Amino acid sequence: MKNILLSMTAADLGQVALDMGEKEFRGRQIAHWIYRAGVKEIEQMANLPALFRKKLASRYTVGRASILNLSQSKDRTFKLLLQLDDGESVESVGMLYSDRFSCCVSTQAGCPVGCVFCATGAEGYQRNLAAGEIVGQVLAVQEAGQKEGLAEVNGRVSHVVFMGMGEPLLNYEATLKAVHLINSEMGIGMRNITISTIGYVPGIFRLAEERLQLTLAVSLHAADEALRRKLVPGMTRYSLKDIIQACRDYIKTTGRRVTFEYCLLNRVNDSREDAERLAALLKGLNCHVNLIPYNPFPGNAYKKPEKATIDEFRRRLEEMGINVTQRAQKGAGIRAACGQLRGQHNL
């Protein structure tokens, strides 16, 4: 089997060139073709000598996944189903706004955490993705956006959120490597990158030490210990107290504000008392809360609260001094919204 170029930095690629008897600067050229021009074949790297291209192609391949399906919704959101080398598949989402082109990537095929309201969790866990498989999703989404004539903002992805399938901090090395490739090789600013975690405490401490300017989002969903355990059965080793402590450390070390995500489930975690408990838990932290009204998927019995309940929850948090935003729902018609990705064809 051939080695894969996607996942290598310009410096790594320079070494590959040197090892093959070429000049080191060829590495920067190859990186440009892969990460900026988005080519899928070594043959297309026009400024490399033909003989080098041939030699390179005999041992390496770019390593982009194939697109099995593209679904597009009316709200300028689209979803790609990508097939990986070993036959596993993952989903990635592109979202176009007037001022940005945002891409949501998966970090695992399936997810081992198994949150009770999440379609990915319901599918079980297959494996971690490699860094190249994560960056490849950004390139695939960018290309699809350009092809569909959807993308503005130079047709380039401007923001990347690690909020697709899987728990990024349980696949730490590949996630971090992908962050660096997206930042340095694709040229997307650190501040435009967000990692969302279900609250894997050792990962939060570790990420803090990297001192990156990215945004950390922590999915809480409950401010009550017993309820949190019920909703997030795969992460019970860490209490809410542990999670908040890790976030406090993260804020102190990085100087960055943390986002807390809260999926609102009808009559489960949406009462006035729930809002008050949440505000009390987060008191004094440099943070804001992002409310995500539940997105339904087949076979799941949870419901989205009424608009009035959502508004009331939000108002109560604000009254208690918490900054709140509400996630605009995008891509629901094609099951591309938060928690609806499952890496399969929609049946």
Q: Which residues are catalytic?
A: 91, 338
261 binds, among ligand SF4, ligand SAH, none (CB under 5 to 8 A by kind): ligand SAH
102 binds, among ligand SF4, ligand SAH, none (CB under 5 to 8 A by kind): none
What is the contact mask toward ligand SF4 in residues 188 to 207, using x (rule: CB under 6 A)?
A: ----------x---------
DSSP per residue, 287-345:
EEEEEEEPPP-TT----PPPHHHHHHHHHHHHHTT-EEEEPPP--GGGT-STT---SS-
What is the contact mask toward ligand SAH in residues 198 to 237, using x (rule: CB under 6 A)?
A: x--------------------x------------------
Counting runs of H as helices and runs of E as strands, what totals does the chain give? 11, 14
The DSSP call for residue 42 is: G
Answer for the pair 71, 145: CB distance below 8 angstroms, yes or no: no
d(CA 149, CA 43): 26
Q: Which amino acid belongs to residue 285? A: L
Q: Contacting ligand SAH (CB under 6 A), which of 7, 171, 196, 254?
A: 196
Q: Judging by DSSP bridges, how do beta strands 193-197 and 287-293 pair with one another?
A: unpaired
Q: Which residues make beta-bridge pairs with 96?
A: 101
The DSSP call for residue 191 is: G
Q: Is 207 left (phi over 0), alpha (psi -120 to 50) or beta?
A: alpha
Contact window for ligand SF4 (CB under 6 A) among 117-125, 148-156, 245-253, 283-291: 117-125
Q: Considering the complex, what minimum distance in angstroms separates the CB of residue 198 from ligand SAH?
A: 4
Contact window for ligand SAH (CB under 6 A) among 71-79, 147-155, 176-184, 291-299: 291-299
| 188 sits near ligand SAH (criterion: CB under 6 A) | no
Among residues 65 and 198, whose Cβ is nearest to ligand SF4? 198
Of residues 237, 245, 240, 235, the one with CA closest to residue 225: 240
| 338 sits near ligand SAH (criterion: CB under 6 A) | yes
338 binds, among ligand SAH, ligand SF4, none (CB under 5 to 8 A by kind): ligand SAH
CA 285 to each of CA 252, 257, 259, 264: distance values in angstroms, whole numbers, following the listed order: 10, 8, 10, 21
Q: Contacting ligand SF4 (CB under 6 A), which of 121, 145, 293, 305?
A: 121
Q: Which residue has the closest beta carbon to ligand SAH?
A: 339
Contact window for ligand SAH (CB under 6 A) among 36-44, 56-64, 183-191, 290-298: 290-298
Of residues 90-129, those binding ligand SAH (CB under 6 A): 117-118
> Sheet containing 193-197: which strands, arranged edge to edge?
66-73, 77-83, 89-96, 101-104, 159-162, 193-197, 215-219, 258-264, 287-293, 323-326
| 293 sits near ligand SF4 (criterion: CB under 6 A) | no
CA triplet 146, 343, 91: central angle to 5 degrees? 25
Q: Contacting ligand SAH (CB under 6 A), which of 167, 185, 270, 274?
A: 167
270 binds, among ligand SAH, ligand SF4, none (CB under 5 to 8 A by kind): none
Of residues 307, 221, 308, the one with CA closest to residue 265: 221
Q: Contacting ligand SF4 (CB under 6 A), which of 111, 265, 275, 322?
A: 111
Q: Contacting ligand SAH (CB under 6 A), which of 17, 339, 342, 343?
A: 339
Burial of 121 (0-12, 13-18, 19+ CB in 10 A): buried
Residues interacting with ligand SAH, by CB under 6 A?
117-118, 163, 167, 196-198, 219, 261, 263, 292, 294-295, 338-339
Residues interacting with ligand SF4, by CB under 6 A?
111, 113-115, 118, 120-121, 166-167, 198, 339
